Structure 1
Amino acid sequence: MNEFTKSVYKFSKFDKVKNIFFLAIPAIIENISHVFIGVVDIYFVSKLGTEAIAGVGITNLTMNVYIAFFMAFGIGTTALVSRHIGANEKEKASYVLRQILLMNLFIGIIIGFTNLIFSKKILLFLGADAKTLESAIPYFLAVSVPSIFLSMNIILSSALRGAGNTKTPMNIALIANLTNAILDYILIFGILNFNGFGILGAGLATTLSRVISMIFLFQKITNKKSEFYISILESWKLDFISAKAILKLSLPAAVERLIMRSGQVVYGSMIIKIGTEAYAAHNIAGTIESFSYLPGMGFGVAAATLVGQSLGKEEKENAQNIGLISYFLATIFMVIIGIIFYIYAPELAKLFTKDDFIINQVVKVLRIIALFQPFLAITLVITSALQGAGDTKFPMYSSLIGIWGIRVLGVYILCVKLEYGLPAVWAVYAMDIVVRGIILMVRYLYGDWKNVEIK
């Protein structure tokens, strides 16, 4: 019986599996809601034309780089809060969250001003042509300048998850989704005597839904009946010693996300050069693919939370078992989704476009995606488990190898030099996922991540 089988066997007690599902299912539903926000935006924006789809896509490339920093602090928040909650140190968890919110506020403001001042230059750098630029700028400004609301959502939700509450972020995400859908229709196309704002309306709808969800999250986190809470009356002065400790944990996660997102920007700009139709197909396929991430992300949340809490209780073996069984459960769901992608690829593509060339490209990509779901599950769940334990450096190294050593270089050779087209882009993507998945699993099974100290 190998190490993985032993861990699954030892951890197969119903109550522990139930705890994983208790955290994972609301997280999956929350992630579905976030995905639907993007799907709804793409659906409505697609009615405005191919250039509008490309405009949203190129904006999202840039936003993903900025989100890397927000997500890094979210990872740090989950790791620190879960460890302190596991050790029954709620006051420390509250103090750490206040420090992270202050740091995040500062970063969010800087990013917002950067986007406001350099919006056109950023989009031109990414390879936007005149038509794409015309569509991209209004959406970019509406979404990226007030990105502080997105960052606050990420931190507050991460804190609640770290405390073991995944239901509240789920409920608030559902509210935000419904709000975004309603506002999308009204602000893009108009209603009654109001003519709507076109693509600008899509950006405004997204931002307004984030403002509303942030208000609900902040209300929950300041409620004394919550799992733990922060008081607005307590000191909000930045503690540089605590800030240094938080950065030590979060910075590798930020670099890991930056490596990933900047790599996506680079090879995304290469795809733009293939042609607008290929890039539109790439974005449609990516939107559909995001559904396959949902189980991995949900069980990754459960793994990060329970691994952190188990280590806080000094239960190291249990911490390792949690990560492995979470991966096993996520893989079952993701393989099923992969099968659906493979069989129903044409029907899924036709939901977003009637262009035969784009449909053909999307179908080829979806069938490539279907084949590497077990390895994708590793990159999602095991990475989260390691980060929940405070081991944020190793995922950073694996991303550097996979994104830049395999994906960017591979796309440059196969698509720019040899001109093999969009399916080759995703074949390289699959190779990256497989290599990183193997590296991460070896680390998890035999690494010393269980001994990482968090203060």
Structure 2
Amino acid sequence: MEEVNNNDIEEKSISDSKNSTVRNDVIKIAWPVLIELLLGSLFGMIDMMMLGRIPDQSLAAASVAAVGMTNQPLFIGLSLVQALNVGGTAMIARYFGAKQNDRMETVLKHVILLSMTLLVIPLTILGIIYTDNILNLMGAEPDALEAGRYYFKIVMIGFVFQSFNMSISAALRGVGDTRTPMRVNLMCNFLNVIGNALLIYGLLGFPSLGVTGAGISTALSQVIACVLLFIYVIKGESIIKLDLRSRFTFDKNIMYNLVKIGLPASIEQMFLRVGILIFVRIVAGLGTVIYAAHQIALNILSLSFQPGQAFGIAASSLVGRSLGAKDHEKAEAYAKKTRRIGSLISTFMAVIFFFFGRQLVGLYSTDPLIIESASGALKIIAFVQPFQSSQLILAGALRGAGDTFWPLVATFVGVLIVRVVLAYIFIIIMGWGLTGAWIAVFIDQFVRWVFVYIRFRTGKWKHVKIR
């Protein structure tokens, strides 16, 4: 009997040790990403607050609405670049786990070249030439169009550098180096906030440029971040290296993997952004002030969005690395632990949004209608959190395994069908206004969670092969 008890104690000790190791690995990779994303969102919130506090209230509302409308098409471009980066992160994590370090640099070069030539440069040119057409398509009223025209052109130039920055950051995260992107991006976000204060309000002798000044500051911060990360990888200080002297040759296996993993992720992002564009177009019909309230609610939502994203990135890296080392059990343990920790953090933030929504919105605007509308939306957002966080993290685990098809299905059904159709019914037909829009978001997130959770439970993602 005593021998059995000793065996039980020993097995429990081994289990506790494994659990502790998994938790430590998750936190080690996730916390720098979480800090980076949370503070990045916080800086974004401060930017929006600065625009919302422009003394002329009508100009302030137009500026906030303009940033929201210009961000949507910009996010389409960023999402397509990020989809290609998903393939890069998954492959680099796999090669790192399999100790095939020589292939990681080739992956990064392929990702950068493909994203720049096929996506970034063409989209930048189109964005600059067709600025007014794009903003009109977004439903911008004359005041928002006037405020956002030059802002959009400037941030599209910054998009080139931001995309380069994202590709390098994704490669570094694939090998678990999340601290370097954190340090670089936090420093540049801090500089962006200072630049915004100087150029929006015209402090210390700088010109008062309003929302255009915010665009200039944002673009410059992206240039600085790009330069710093580029220097880091070409100096060879990281496991990820970029040797500009070595000759580049296309690798058909890497191209196959990028298409296999990245194509569904790209289509998913297209569905997501098209769905959100239609959704935004419906909400914009409620008027500039209500749309400004919606944008403020989205801006605050982005803060609670970040734990799911951070732990989803950690899950991608750790799951990919474990599958590269052919340790399926550890891959599943990492996925479950990231979901548990990330969901706890998101739920805590949801409680704050529910009870202190009015105070948070009051930091952005003094307009009573905006405060009332946006704080009501935050109460619904609080209920979105548990499903949103779990869905983001499990989808990150699937992507890390190279299983990008089911996140695509979840997004197509949830965003492009459920959210858009219900938003039209709730806003246009039933007249529920902004509340109806956010109820549609809640149902969309729940549907996506169901799809991703069921796929994860099948375990089939553990057997996805890459070349």
In the TM superposition, what is the alpha-carbon distance from 1:11 to its structure 2 partner?
8.6
Aligned counterpart in structure 1 of residue 35 of structure 2, from 29, 38, 49: 29
> 1:38 aligned to 2:21?
no
Aligned counterpart in structure 2 of residue 354 of structure 1, from 358, 363, 366: 366
Task: Kindly name which structure, 1 or 2, has the bigger radius of gyration based on alpha carbons.
Answer: 2
Deviation readout 1:265-313 (Å, 9 max, x if unpaired)? 1110111101111111111011111111121111111111000000000
Deviates more, 1:115-124 or 1:231-240: 231-240
CA distance in 1, matches of 2:192, 2:206: 18
Aligned counterpart in structure 2 of residue 161 of structure 1, from 173, 186, 201: 173
CA distance in 1, matches of 2:149, 2:17: 51
In the TM superposition, what is the alpha-carbon distance from 1:237 to its structure 2 partner?
4.5
Identity level (%): 31
Asked if the contact 2:406–2:451 (Cα under 8 Å) also holds between the matched residues in 1, the reply is no
Return 5+ residue gaps in structure 2 as ranges. Answer: 1-14, 55-59
CA distance in 2, matches of 1:244, 1:137: 40
Q: What code does the residue aligned with 1:416 have?
A: I
CA distance in 1, matches of 2:454, 2:77: 30
In the TM superposition, what is the alpha-carbon distance from 1:454 to its structure 2 partner?
1.6
In the TM superposition, what is the alpha-carbon distance from 1:379 to its structure 2 partner?
1.7
Aligned pairs for 1:43-442 (under 5 A) are 43-48=49-54, 49-106=60-117, 107-239=119-251, 242-442=254-454
Asked if the contact 1:112–1:146 (Cα under 8 Å) also holds between the matched residues in 2, the reply is no
Q: Aligned residues, how many?
A: 448
Q: CA RMSD in A?
A: 1.6
Return 5+ residue gaps in structure 1 as ranges. Answer: 1-8
CA distance in 2, matches of 1:96, 1:356: 52
CA distance in 2, matches of 1:63, 1:386: 26
TM-score for both structures, normalised by structure 1? 0.95
TM-score for both structures, normalised by structure 2? 0.93
Q: Which residue of 2 aligns with 1:5?
A: none
Asked if the contact 1:79–1:388 (Cα under 8 Å) also holds between the matched residues in 2, the reply is yes
Q: What code does the residue aligned with 2:45 have?
A: V
Q: What code does the residue aligned with 1:425 have?
A: A
Deviates more, 1:243-252 or 1:295-304: 243-252
CA distance in 2, matches of 1:331, 1:245: 31
Q: What code does the residue aligned with 1:59 have?
A: T
Q: Which residue of 2 aligns with 1:3?
A: none
CA distance in 2, matches of 1:344, 1:236: 54
Asked if the contact 1:33–1:173 (Cα under 8 Å) also holds between the matched residues in 2, the reply is no
> 1:443 aligned to 2:455?
yes
Task: Rate the CA distance shift 1:11–1:422 in 2: closer, same or farther, 3 A.
Answer: farther
Q: Which residue of 2 aligns with 1:6?
A: none
CA distance in 2, matches of 1:230, 1:412: 48
Asked if the contact 2:164–2:226 (Cα under 8 Å) also holds between the matched residues in 1, the reply is yes
Asked if the contact 2:200–2:210 (Cα under 8 Å) also holds between the matched residues in 1, the reply is yes
CA distance in 2, matches of 1:297, 1:195: 37
Asked if the contact 1:115–1:145 (Cα under 8 Å) also holds between the matched residues in 2, the reply is no
Asked if the contact 2:365–2:371 (Cα under 8 Å) also holds between the matched residues in 1, the reply is yes
